[in-house]
């Protein structure tokens, strides 16, 4: 039982490049989330998925797209990376959307040059 896993752990991109951050959970949770955390700051919600087949915008969705591939997997895509997207990205999952405990993955550290 791995909980929430994220790949990659680290990534360096050049401005304009694209990439997809992967997230998977094995807890049979319905809801999944993507957050970003900037240095010394709290977490901000980018997108979330209340259940398989649905996605919704969070606080800071611009510049990102998401896909809820199945119940286990929720990916975050940067189509054209910008230096302002340098951050640590956390994926999380929970049983019920926006109500219950969230379980976080270890994070992906992204640097955009």
Partner 1 sequence: GQQVMQIPQYQHVQEGEDFTTYCNSSTTLSNIQWYKQRPGGHPVFLIQLVKSGEVKKQKRLTFQFGEAKKNSSLHITATQTTDVGTYFCISSGTYKYIFGTGTRLKVLA
Instruction: Give me the least distance between CB of 64 and partner 1, in Å please.
Output: 16
Residues 6+ away with beta carbon under 8 Å from 34: 21, 23, 45, 46, 47, 48, 58, 64, 66, 74, 76, 89, 90, 91, 92
- The dihedrals phi and psi of 27, each to the nearest 5 degrees, come to -105, 10
**CB-nearer residue toward partner 1: 7 or 15:** 7
**CB-nearer residue toward partner 1: 80 or 101:** 101
Binding-site ranges for partner 1 (CB under 8 A): 33, 35, 41-45, 48, 58-59, 90, 92, 98-107
Instruction: Give me the least distance between CB of 80 and partner 1, in Å please.
Output: 26
């Amino acid at each position: 039982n791995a909980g929430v896993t994220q790949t990659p752990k680290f990534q360096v991109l050049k401005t304009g490049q694209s990439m997809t951050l992967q997230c998977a959970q094995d807890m049979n949770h319905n809801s999944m989330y993507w957050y970003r955390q900037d240095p010394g700051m709290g977490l901000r919600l980018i997108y979330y998925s209340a259940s398989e087949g649905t996605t919704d915008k969070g606080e800071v969705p611009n510049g990102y797209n998401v896909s809820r591939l199945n119940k286990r997997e929720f990916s975050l895509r940067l189509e054209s990376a910008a230096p302002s997207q340098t951050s640590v990205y956390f994926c999380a999952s929970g049983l019920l959307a926006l109500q219950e405990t969230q379980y976080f993955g270890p994070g992906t550290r992204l640097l955009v040059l």
